Amino acid sequence: MPQVLRISSRKRFDWLIDHLATEAHRASDHWYLWSGLDAAIDDYGKEINQTPQFWRLTFRAYQDSVVLRLGRLFDPTKGALSLGNFLQTVHHCAKNRALDSLGLDVPGLDTAVIQEELKSVSVTDPLVSRLIKVRNQYLAHREARLVSRGSFFSLPKLRREDIETLLKRASEIGDKYCQLYGRPIVLPGFVGADDYKHMLLLLKLGLQSIKAKQAEETTRIISPG
């Protein structure tokens, strides 16, 4: 159950909104990189297979990073800087006019809409429930019973579309309240987002160069004259 956060100043409130919006977009950035690398396997499979363990760990690191960031954003723990606790705070203050003294009673706050948003970030939502279970039992903690029984496959699955839905949900809520409260909106994407494409191209060119040199050396050995 989301809890009301203690907001002592406008500065603290602004920091909370900025943090949530930035965290949502950082998770999306990591997912963008993972998706791009995953899509590149067809074109660069030969190059990636030269160092398979490195790429296996890289793919896993991006996936884990996204799930951990989403886990923080949808964290139901009391006192956590999460979307649920933020929305519960806004809802409580809007109903009780507690935002007036901080200059946060802004046009566009609809308590009925906030309640619907709260449902979408609560563990009563099936997607959020699966996310938190994976985060709690596998990533943030490792349950002994799962290890001893070798039962990690019993954990709920987070499909690609599930993660993308949660990312979209978090980003839209963050952007909405940044706009409502006059905070800078975090733009999607980042400088150098497609640098991985250049790196993969360099790998391809490097492998081609190595093979060309090997072929040249083989020819020289076979036909020394």
Q: From residue 142, give the alpha-carbon distance in Å to each of 61, 129, 134, 155.
A: 17, 17, 10, 12
Going by C-alpha positions, the residue among 109, 112, 82 that lies closest to residue 94 is 109
pLDDT (0 to 100) of residue 152:
36
Query: What is the pLDDT confidence band of residue 192, given thresholds at 50, 70 and 90?
Result: confident
Q: Are 62 and 33 in contact (CB under 8 A)?
A: yes
Give the percent of the chain with pLDDT over 90: 48
pLDDT greater at residue 76 or residue 219: 76
Q: What is the pTM of this model?
A: 0.85
Query: What is the pLDDT confidence band of residue 222, given thresholds at 50, 70 and 90?
Result: confident
pLDDT (0 to 100) of residue 73:
96
For CA atoms 126, 189, 38, 61, the dihedral sign is negative
pLDDT digits (tens, 9 = 90+) for 23-34: 999 999 999 999
Quote the mean pLDDT of the chain. 85
Question: Looking at this protein, which amino acid is placed at residue 105?
Answer: D
Burial 67-83 (b: 16+ CB within 10 A, else e): bbbbbbbbbbeeebbbb
> What does the DSSP assignment read for 147-172?
HHHT-GGGSPP--HHHHHHHHHHHHH
pLDDT digits (tens, 9 = 90+) for 46-78: 999 999 999 999 998 898 889 989 999 999 988
Classify residue 19 by burial, with Cβ atoms within 10 Å: 0-12, 13-18, 19+.
middle
Query: What is the pLDDT confidence band of residue 104, given thresholds at 50, 70 and 90?
Result: confident
Answer left, alpha or beta for residue 70, where phi above 0 means left and psi between -120 and 50 means alpha. Answer: alpha
pLDDT (0 to 100) of residue 220:
80
The two tokens of residue 123 are 């563990």
Q: How far apart are CA 112 and CA 77, in angstroms?
A: 23
Answer left, alpha or beta for residue 103, where phi above 0 means left and psi between -120 and 50 means alpha. Answer: left
Going by C-alpha positions, the residue among 133, 118, 120, 113 that lies closest to residue 85 is 118
Give the mean model confidence (pLDDT) for residues 3-27.
90
Give the mean model confidence (pLDDT) for residues 170-175.
95
pLDDT greater at residue 103 or residue 76: 76
- Residue 173, pLDDT > 90, answer yes
